[in-house]
Chain A
Amino acid sequence: MKETRLKILQYITGIGLFFFAGTHLIVSHLSSGEPASWESVSDRAASAGWLTLYLLLLTFGLYHGLHGLRTIILEFSFPNYAVRVLDWALVVIGIAIFGYAAYIPISAF
């Protein structure tokens, strides 16, 4: 039941993103002050709580986004024999993006 398990993860990450991305968007785009200024960004970067939130947001967002993209690619009559190649390509892309994107807040912590 591989596809079913992948989809369950899609649901779990979706629910997680509702909270993590919701918090991130409210703080970064709707709060008063200048949330994108260097001072604000540096303050958040020094917090273990924010670092955890960013890493969870990144992990959940990458899985949810790339799995969604996989679904769309499959719908172009993507042949079954090549699905494994597609999956590995998306895993490699996901890990590469995670490595790059996670390095930024970790290095600033």
Chain B
Amino acid sequence: MQELTFKVQRYTPGQDKEPYLQEFTIPFTEGMTVLDGLIYIKEKVDNTLSFRSSCRMGICGSCGVLVNNFPMLACHTPVEELKTDRIEVKSLPNFPIIRDLVASLDLLFEKHKSIKPYIISSDIREAEEPTAEYVQSREELESYVQFAYCVKCGLCMAACPTVATDALFLGPQPLGQVYRYCTDRRDMGAKERFHEADSPHGVWLCHLAGACSEACPKGVDPALAIQLLKRAMVFDSMRLAKKRQPVTLAHLPVESKPKIEVPEFTVK
């Protein structure tokens, strides 16, 4: 592979009627990612190209794009993995286009906010002025920690077939986060979130196509979280759910640890 052909979606609102593809030929360098290719085009070929990126290491979730018809993080996708020298890059489907490859994730963030993505404590005073630490076993941590790795990149929403037609559907990211918080023993907000997820455009419009989990670049597996949420909601509605006890507190030891002795100065 000496050269790569990048077909990049271009679209300027108010100027273009429809998005179109523009072709760029750029040199291949070993280990380059799709994001490296886009940066090369912007720096050396066409500085009007718009795309979003930040950390370049799959942590911030900014550079989600559709690469050869599959949603991916551009920074997390080595060109060699694509096994072709023709790379088509489009903005994420199911999200409005701001310009070129920049999708507006506003709707995702609004839906995410609507499910109260924070610990709702039964003891507000303790939450605001903590006197102790919450006790959490390894099993309790592992019941939700996988879902807490979500970076809100929106790839799952771009992959979901229900989001493809339903603008009102909560979608895999917010629904996965409903389960993430409801299964956390520190949280007592399950009822409020279940109410949100029980809407006509809530959890029951997920039909387990599994595309969200396939697309997720962080191994969060939103499809699993959503199915576990469904089970929790079915058990809750049939009054079969076990009543959860509030999390216990572990008070810090009053006595402080002995101070480490400071070694004497070697140079006096």
Contact = CB atoms under 8 A, between A and B. Distances in A.
Do A and B touch, yes or no (CB under 8 Å, in the complex)? yes
Interface in B162-176: 162, 165-169
Contact of A80 (B194, B200, B237): B200
B205 A1 contact: no
B236 A77 contact: no
Highest count of chain B CB atoms <10 Å: which of A4, A8, A71, A77: A4
Contact of A75 (B162, B203, B230): B162
B19 to A, nearest CB: 22
Interface string B222-261: 0000000010011011100000000000000000000000
B200 A3 contact: yes
Given A71-B204, A74-B205, A75-B205, A4 B166 contact: no
B43 interface: no
Given A1-B194, A8-B234, A78 B167 contact: no
Contacts of A3: 198-200, 202-204
Contacts of A4: 198, 204, 233-234, 236-237
Interface in A7-26: 7-8
Contacts of B236: 1, 4
A75 B198 contact: no
A8 B167 contact: no
B233 A1 contact: yes
B165 A75 contact: yes
A75 to B, nearest CB: 5
What's the dominant secondary structure at chain A's contact region? helix
A77 B199 CA distance: 13
Interface in A66-98: 71, 74-80, 83
B111 interface: no
Contacts of B162: 75
B233 to A, nearest CB: 5
Contact of B165 (A2, A5, A77): A77
Contacts of B202: 3
Nearest to A83: B200
B56 interface: no
Highest count of chain B CB atoms <10 Å: which of A6, A75, A76, A79: A75
B201 interface: yes
Contacts of B203: 3
Contacts of B237: 1, 4-5, 8
Contacts of A78: 168, 200
A71 B168 CA distance: 13
A77 B234 contact: no
A71 B200 CA distance: 9
